[in-house]
Amino acid sequence: MPKITRRHQPKSKPAKARRTRKSAKKPGKKTAKRIVTKPQRAPARAKKPKRWTPAEVHEAFSRFRKANPEPKGELEHLNPFTLLVAVVLSAQATDAGVNRATRALFAVADTPQRMLALGEERLRDTIKTVGLYRTKARNVIALSEKLINEFGGEVPRTRAEIESLPGAGRKTANVVLNMAFGEHTMAVDTHVFRVGNRTALAPGKTPLEVELGLERVIPPEFMLHAHHWLILHGRYTCLARKPRCEVCLINDLCRWGEKTV
Ligand code: SF4
């Protein structure tokens, strides 16, 4: 009997043969080429500006002092109470706008007692040109009551006590402590925040960071007026949109990469 030899059958079809009809290459249709790109390098991080040396900080504030030995705040007031009220009213409003309203207000209500006698409704009418006047009127009446009931009608002298008053936060406390009581505090408003960051004198993501940074670097001899020098510098020279670097007193010391001198 002849020997029957079985031809070897592969168990599975080769890959090409397994291609289904669906995935089969259609004649004439081009397949998209895979484009292999080189991995992109991460963009270089912006260099951190060099820190100011103590000598540079001293030089900057000496120049501010020479140019304006007794800088004054622009919020009009008659005593610590009216200063407190003016600062509470100034949140999200300009000093000029607040002054226009408080001239008439302080003529009739320059103490907590007189403010209560005026009453919330008439107070509201007097300050209605100031933004958020309804809430602010409510706060001024409430803080006047609290001053009478808890502080003998006087503005207290500690940060915690001032911050406990309705409508008063950290910035209000810093302004009152500095301007009414001569404390070395640093109130950070939008101008001081910008100048601290732009110049790299005290960079920070929050007003508190900038405040603490400025307190760390500014020598005590300048601290009484430093807040006003920086506000005035931001308001009239280091403007938000178009800083006037060409007339800036500290343009050689400023670390801002985009300064125009
Ligand atoms: S040089 Fe220009 S950016 Fe720097 S502090 Fe002066 S005004 Fe501001």
Residue 226 or 29, more confident = 226
Any domain includes 65: yes
Report the alpha-carbon angle 164-194-79, nearest 5.
40
Q: Ligand 1: which atom is nearest the Cα of residue 251?
A: 1
Q: Is residue 245 in contact with ligand 1, taking CB distance under 6 Å?
A: yes
Any domain includes 193: yes
Check: CB of residue 217 under 8 Å from CB of residue 57: yes
Q: Is residue 60 in contact with ligand 1, taking CB distance under 6 Å?
A: no
Q: Is residue 238 in contact with ligand 1, taking CB distance under 6 Å?
A: yes
CATH number where 159 lies? 1.10.340.30
The percent of residues above 90 in pLDDT, for the chain, comes to: 79
Residue 55 confidence class, pLDDT cut points 50, 70, 90: very high
pLDDT score, position 35: 59
Residue 37 confidence class, pLDDT cut points 50, 70, 90: low
Interval between CA 95 and ligand 1 midpoint (Å) = 23
Q: What is the mean pLDDT of the chain?
A: 88
Catalytically annotated residue among 189, 205, 252, 259: 189
Model confidence at 31: pLDDT above 70? no
How many other CB atoms sit within 10 Å of the CB of residue 255?
16
Check: CB of residue 211 under 8 Å from CB of residue 50: no
Number of domains, the chain: 1
Q: What is the DSSP letter of 142?
A: H
Residue 43 confidence class, pLDDT cut points 50, 70, 90: low
Among 61, 63, 198, 201, residue to substitute to test ligand 1 (most atoms within 8 Å of Cβ): 198
**Dihedral over Cα of 16, 22, 27, 31: its sign:** negative
Q: 153-210 pLDDT, tens per residue? A: 999 999 999 999 999 999 999 999 999 999 999 999 999 999 999 999 999 999 999 9
Residue with token string 């290459």: 25
Alpha-carbon distance 257 to 89, whole Å? 36
Model confidence at 32: pLDDT above 70? no
Any domain includes 189: yes
Q: 225-254 pLDDT, tens per residue? A: 999 999 999 999 999 999 999 999 999 999
Any domain includes 48: no
Model confidence at 125: pLDDT above 80? yes
pLDDT score, position 44: 61
Any domain includes 253: no
Q: Ligand 1: which atom is nearest the Cα of residue 237?
A: 7
Any domain includes 80: yes
pLDDT score, position 33: 57
Q: Is residue 230 in contact with ligand 1, taking CB distance under 6 Å?
A: no
Is 189 part of the annotated catalytic residue set? yes
Q: Is residue 243 in contact with ligand 1, taking CB distance under 6 Å?
A: yes
Q: Ligand 1: which atom is nearest the Cα of residue 260?
A: 2
Give the residue numbers spanning the domain of 186: 54-247
Alpha-carbon distance 85 to 176, whole Å? 10
Check: CB of residue 75 under 8 Å from CB of residue 83: yes
Residue 48 confidence class, pLDDT cut points 50, 70, 90: confident
What is the reported pTM? 0.81
The percent of residues above 70 in pLDDT, for the chain, comes to: 82
Q: Give the residue, by CA position, lying nearest to ligand 1 atom 2.
A: 245
pLDDT score, position 1: 42
Any domain includes 217: yes
Any domain includes 224: yes
Q: Is residue 253 in contact with ligand 1, taking CB distance under 6 Å?
A: no
Query: Across residues 39-57, what is the average pLDDT?
Result: 80
Check: CB of residue 255 under 8 Å from CB of residue 50: yes
Q: Ligand 1: which atom is nearest the Cα of residue 250?
A: 6
Is 171 part of the annotated catalytic residue set? yes
Residue 260 confidence class, pLDDT cut points 50, 70, 90: confident
